[in-house]
Amino acid sequence: MKRNLEYFFTYKTNVKERWKNKELLEVLVYEFRTRTEEYFRQAIECGVIKVNDEIVKPTRKLKLTDSITHTVHMHEPQPPAIEILSKEEDYVVVNKPAGVPCHPTGGYMYYSVTKSLFGDTKVACVNRLDMPVSGIMIITFNNLSTCLEKIKDAKKIYIAKVRGIFPEYVKVDKKIVCKEGRRRYVSEEGKDCETIFKLISYKDGFSLVQCQPITGRTHQIRIHMQSLGFPIVNDIIYGDQVAETVEQTDSMCKADISEFEDEKMYKCVIKNCKGENNRSFNNKHYFICLHAWKYVYDGKEFEAPWPEWCKI
């Protein structure tokens, strides 16, 4: 059985215009609210957070030419096995599992679809699925713009599961406001959106619904379902009941730091490492009942097998 991954990682960011002439501690506390002021103060003093690779005081005024580094200890599950549905000349079509991000992102350096399949090889996601969504995902290792051109008019079919008796047919054309980093919502001030919904089956209080997005806005199907009063099962962001809580483990970090010269710094890093009590482990089994089932384009048709929750 493969062990889960553990490693040290150093984030690096250049000082932004809005940080100019502000104190380091002030910027960290305001901009990165997942950590406490006490943590940042201690991390600066121990050299876990540095400016231009040097230990500085929390009151250090920042300049535009400065860079800030932050060393952390990471824990991730082993990269998952990914089912390849088709290998084409410029891209592959895969069946993305729920609970796995498409590509490396905050807190996920290895536990992702692209890392699992391609390692450090440079690739690009032609389409993206939200982390708790499963189904067809297209990855190119050649020319992204060419692949995007091929699928721009693709017919995309999703399968969703909702509570209650869904209508036989509904077309929704409600506009959606899309603001980066914020929850999307229906509003006349938003962008044009259209989704076609068709009932597949109903059983034991649940409906299985075919969803065809005509436009391609972020969270479009999820938001349009919510607007109809049928939030997708497990989709707690857009109105369904709270999903089953993942129990946190007792596996706090016990990494050996004896080999490091700067023991004070690494003691601080390990002291503040939560081990496996993090996003990658807690979200590993989280899914919403939405599956990218079928893509049709360029004379080709690809289908991803239905997940277990489709069997109602």
| Digit-coded pLDDT (tens) for 216-254 | 888 999 999 999 999 999 999 898 765 554 454 445 677
Catalytic residue among 66, 90, 130, 262: 130
Report the largest interatomic distance among the alpha carbons of the chain, rounded to a whole angstrom: 67
Q: What's the confidence (pLDDT) of residue 62?
A: 98
CA–CA separation, 157 and 134 (whole Å)? 13
- Classify 19 in phi/psi space as left (phi over 0), alpha (psi -120 to 50) or beta: alpha
- Which phi and psi angles does 86 have, rounded to 5°? -160, 140
Give the residues of the chain that fall short of pLDDT 70: 1-2, 179-182, 185, 241-252, 256-262
Tell the residue number behind the tokens 């493969």, with chain if given. Answer: 2
| Residue ranges matching CATH 3.10.290.10 in the chain | 1-76+247-282
Q: What's the confidence (pLDDT) of residue 304?
A: 98
Using CA atoms, how far residue 122 sits from 9, 37, 142, 153, 294, in Å, is 20, 37, 9, 26, 26
Q: At the topology level of CATH, where does 1-76+247-282 sit?
A: 3.10.290
- For CA atoms 145, 150, 154, 157, the dihedral sign is negative
Q: What's the confidence (pLDDT) of residue 177?
A: 85
Based on the residue annotation, tell me whether 130 is a catalytic residue of this protein.
yes
This prediction has a pTM of 0.81
Q: What's the confidence (pLDDT) of residue 159?
A: 98
| Residue ranges matching CATH 3.30.2350.10 in the chain | 83-243+285-310
Q: What's the confidence (pLDDT) of residue 251?
A: 57
- Bridge partners of residue 186, in order along the sequence: 176
CATH class for the domain made up of 83-243+285-310: alpha beta
CA–CA separation, 192 and 188 (whole Å)? 9
Percent of the chain exceeding pLDDT 70 equals 91
Q: Strands 49-51 and 67-76: what pairing?
A: antiparallel
